Chains A and B, each alone.
Chain A
Amino acid sequence: TQLLEQSPQFLSIQEGENLTVYCNSSSVFSSLQWYRQEPGEGPVLLVTVVTGGEVKKLKRLTFQFGDARKDSSLHITAAQPGDTGLYLCAGQNNAGNMLTFGGGTRLMVKP
C-alpha cells in the first residue's frame, strides 16, 4: 500500500506570509497531483508533476516534485485570504489506475 504523509495538517497564517506544504512517501509515484478543496465541494486540480525534479509555477504557487519522485512540496508566496482551503496531494501509482491521497493541509489565511 502506498502512503502519502502530508504536513502540516493545519496552518493558520496572516495575509502576506509565505508557506510551504510537504507531501512525503517511501514509495515512488509515476506522477503527483495537488488539489484544492473548498467546503462542500469536490477537489479541484491545481497541477500535475511528472518528472523527478520538476518545478511548476502557477502564479503565487510553486510546486516541486522530488528527484526520486517520492515527495513533493507546494510553496505559496504572499498568501491571500482567497487561498484558504484544504490542500491535498495525491500520488498516482505506476499502473496509472489509482490515486492515493495525502491527509490534507487545512490552510487559513487571515486578513
Chain B
Amino acid sequence: GAVVSQHPSWVICKSGTSVKIECRSLDFQATTMFWYRQFPKQSLMLMATSNEGSKATYEQGVEKDKFLINHASLTLSTLTVTSAHPEDSSFYICSARGLRTHGYTFGSGTRLTVV
C-alpha cells in the first residue's frame, strides 16, 4: 500500500531558529500534499495544500511567510517553520495523495517543541 515517511519524528529547537520537516511518498507519486497542525487532544487543522510544482495554498489564518512549503518533486514536500517561537510548538502531520491513489496517506507526524 501507499506509504508516506515523515522526518523527523520529533525535534526540539531554540526560539528564533528555523526547522524543516520532510514528507516523502515512498511508493507512489504524490501530486498533492497536505500539511496539518494538531494541538494536544484536538483534531487536525489543515494548514496548506500543495500541488507539485506550484505554490502552496494556505488556509485562512496561516502565515505563509512563517510556514514555508515546498513541493518541488512528486515524492517530496517540506514544511519549514521559520523563526520559530514557543507558540509554534505542536504536532505537524503531512498527508499525500497521488493520481492513482484515491485515498489520503498520512505521515507519522513530527512533534515540534520550541524552547
Within the complex, the shortest CB–CB distance from B105 to chain A, in Å, comes to 8
Stretch touching chain B among A12-20, A40-48, A63-71, A74-82:
A40-48
Q: Are A98 and B109 in contact (CB under 8 A)?
A: no
B49 interface neighbour in A41, A98, A100, Cβ under 8 Å: A98
Bound-complex Cα distance A1 to B43 (A): 17
From B43, B93, B106, B108, residue with most partner A Cβ within 10 Å:
B43
Q: Are A42 and B43 in contact (CB under 8 A)?
A: no
Q: A88-B44, A99-B34, A104-B42 are known contacts. Are A42 and B49 too (CB-CB below 8 A)?
A: no
Bound-complex Cα distance A42 to B49 (A): 17
Bound-complex Cα distance A104 to B103 (A): 19
- Chain B minimum-CB-distance residue to A106: B41
Interface of B is mostly: strand
Within the complex, the shortest CB–CB distance from B8 to chain A, in Å, comes to 13
Q: Are A42 and B42 in contact (CB under 8 A)?
A: no
* Interface residue tally for chain A (C-beta within 8 Å): 20
Bound-complex Cα distance A24 to B103 (A): 21
A97 within 8 A of partner (CB): yes
Within the complex, the shortest CB–CB distance from A62 to chain B, in Å, comes to 20
Bound-complex Cα distance A103 to B39 (A): 11
Bound-complex Cα distance A35 to B43 (A): 11
Within the complex, the shortest CB–CB distance from A42 to chain B, in Å, comes to 4
CB contacts (< 8 Å) of A97 on chain B: these are: 32, 49
Q: Are A88 and B43 in contact (CB under 8 A)?
A: yes
- Chain A minimum-CB-distance residue to B109: A42
CB-CB contacts below 8 Å: B75-115 with A: 91, 93, 95, 103-109, 111
Sample 12 A-B pairs with CB under 8 A, ordered by A number.
A6-B43, A40-B91, A40-B109, A42-B108, A42-B109, A43-B44, A45-B104, A45-B105, A48-B103, A97-B49, A103-B43, A106-B41
* 7 shortest interchain CB distances as A-B pairs: A42-B106, A104-B43, A42-B108, A101-B44, A42-B109, A103-B43, A101-B43
